[in-house]
Amino acid sequence: MNRQNGFTLVEIAIVMVIIGLLLGGVLKGQEIVTNAKIKNLENDFSGVTAAIYSYQDRYRALPGDDSRAKDRFGTDEPGNGTLGNGNIEGDFDSDVETDESRMLWAHLRSAGLVDGEAGTSDKPVNSFSGVTGVSSKGVLNIAKGRTYIGFSKIPNSISIILESRSDDEKPNKGSIRADDGAAAEDTDSDGYNTSGDDEKIRNMYFIL
């Protein structure tokens, strides 16, 4: 009689244990990466906030809205917005070089307060591959004139974590707010956990 070779129960158990360890390691690694990205985003908020306040303390003006920045640094003068009115005008993620929200980065870099070549207005990339920006434009129930730091391309699950750590878990209230990035007037008043939200990618706004 021919004898068929096969795996014993012990061998199968060992294989299952190894697979479990590998899966656990992968999931743990993903968790570590995600936590690092969240921490980097929070550090970006703290760093940009400190840079803006340092600029105000040093020059008595908001970066981007500084009417004397051209004479001081030789940077271009914003063509969109009213200089010196205390507002950073333009979308936080603006692609218009002449918006105050873009020139803010040129002023901060020229002052040596953020990394990058002096005078350049490129928006920094955040840890979720979106952009980091600053504006005082009214959006998502944030009154015009209130300055906020915006982050684009934030997954819904990360938005919930950030809200839970620092605010009230309501996307259209409090010091942290979020929309789905579809329209400037989107109030998203139903919260973070409505149907289809798991796949939603958001803009987040941290009010200074």
Record the pTM: 0.81
Nearest residue to 107 via CA among 151, 51, 46? 51
- At residue 185, the pLDDT reads 47
Q: Is 99 helix (H, G, I), strand (E, B) or coil?
A: strand
Count how many residues are written for the chain: 208
**DSSP-H helix ranges across the chain:** 9-59, 69-73, 100-110, 156-166
Torsion of CA 159, 40, 203, 96, to 10 degrees: 180
- At residue 8, the pLDDT reads 75
- Strand 176-179 and strand 201-207: pairing? antiparallel
Nearest residue to 158 via CA among 108, 99, 200? 200
Quote the distance between the C-alpha of residue 106 and its chain's center. 19
- Strand 148-155 and strand 132-135: pairing? antiparallel
10-residue averages of pLDDT along the chain (208 residues): 63 78 69 89 96 96 95 88 91 94 96 94 95 92 90 92 88 86 50 65 92
Torsion of CA 143, 147, 149, 153, to 10 degrees: 30
Whose tokens are 């014993």? That residue is 8
- At residue 5, the pLDDT reads 62
Write down the domain spans for the chain.
9-207
Nearest residue to 208 via CA among 53, 13, 5? 53
Q: Is 133 helix (H, G, I), strand (E, B) or coil?
A: strand
- At residue 13, the pLDDT reads 79
Nearest residue to 121 via CA among 108, 136, 135, 111? 108
Query: How many other CB atoms sit within 10 Å of the CB of residue 14?
Result: 12
Torsion of CA 73, 74, 80, 84, to 10 degrees: 40
Q: Give, in order, the Cα–Cα distances in Å from 120 to each of 50, 76, 102, 105, 107.
A: 19, 10, 9, 7, 8
Report DSSP letters for 126-147, one per residue: -TTSSBEEEE---BTTBPTT--
